[in-house]
Amino acid sequence: MESLTGVLIFAIAVFAVSAVMSILPSLITRMGEHVHRVLAISAGIMIGIVFLMILPEAFEESHEEAGLEPLFIFAILLVGFFVAFFLDMYVNHEGEHTHKATSMSAYGGMVIHAAFDGISLAAGFSAGDDVGALILVAVCVHKCAEVFSLSAALNVSMDSRKATRFMIGFSAVTPIAAILAYFLINGEPTLTGPAMMLSAGILLFVVMCDMLPEIYDHEDADSPNVRSAFLMIGVAVAVVAVIITELLTGGHGH
């Protein structure tokens, strides 16, 4: 099987997995009392994704492949954080908090990550079909966590039909980027790491300054301890996804 065939199979499989996972949060959030539990799981998954998936890979790509110094790499992270901060202030109109602003900030950060996922992964199939197959499974595992987390945030802030449209678009980002990279970029690493570091900064702001306060500021039937338990469940999901990915790819990420 040629590499192009592998990339096309990858694109179809990732889109299918992402589309299916994006439906689950909408089914759960229809039961209003579970909204903050779902948001807590979503935040936990996103925290795990940022610290265990995006940051290590972004640093490796930026330092080893692009040759950037650590100080400059983490300056990009800081820029991403403040980009999200100023966008959040602008969208929220003088700081008024909304679910929509939170979810759309998260959406923007995850789209950047998903696009460069596709670019960096396209080159993996050139190493052979066996490697490509492992990469495919590993990506599908961590896509499940990413898509569930993002879809949960969107379903809290908008009606399910609109959230579904956004998630269909998101589900297509990585596959399209992988196909384009195969023909045009061929996995060029120079921009991949810095762009992923930028997305990590955006997502850090979203989780720490928007999602976590939203989880704990509102009173409902759940105590803070219960919400913290669901937050840690989300982190555990991300940890399991990372472990499976590392086992499948022999410790070389995806």
Reported as a single tens digit per residue, the pLDDT across 96-148 is: 455 566 677 778 878 877 886 676 666 555 555 555 566 666 667 767 777 88
CA distance 137 to 133: 6
Q: pLDDT-based confidence at 94, cuts 50/70/90?
A: very low
> Which pLDDT does position 95 carry in this prediction?
45
| pTM of the predicted structure, to 2 decimals | 0.66
- 159, with CB counted inside 10 A (0-12, 13-18, 19+), is exposed
Residue with tokens 């790509």: 61
Q: Is 128 helix (H, G, I), strand (E, B) or coil?
A: coil
Q: Which of 253, 3, 49, 48 is nearest to 135 (CA)?
A: 253
For 236-247, what is the mean pLDDT? 84
Residue by residue, DSSP assigns 200-226 as: HHHHHHIIIIIIHHHHHHS-SSS-HHH
Q: Which of 91, 92, 207 is nearest to 149 (CA)?
A: 207
Q: Which one-letter amino acid corresponds to residue 40? A: A
**Cα torsion angle, 34, 38, 39, 40, sign:** positive
For 211-238, what is the mean pLDDT? 81
For 231-245, what is the mean pLDDT? 87
φ/ψ (deg, to 5) at 132: -60, -40
Q: How far separated are the first and last CA of the chain, in Å rounded?
A: 20
> Which pLDDT does position 197 carry in this prediction?
86
> Which pLDDT does position 228 carry in this prediction?
92
CA distance 111 to 109: 6
Residues 6+ apart with CB under 8 A from 206: 46, 84, 102, 105, 106, 109
Q: For residue 254, how far is the Cα from the chain centroid?
A: 14
Q: pLDDT-based confidence at 52, cuts 50/70/90?
A: confident
> Which pLDDT does position 216 carry in this prediction?
78
The tokens for 156 are 């809290």
Q: For residue 184, how far is the Cα from the chain centroid?
A: 24
CA distance 39 to 22: 14
Residue with tokens 């810095």: 194
Q: Which of 35-39, 41-45, 168-172 has the highest mean pLDDT?
A: 168-172
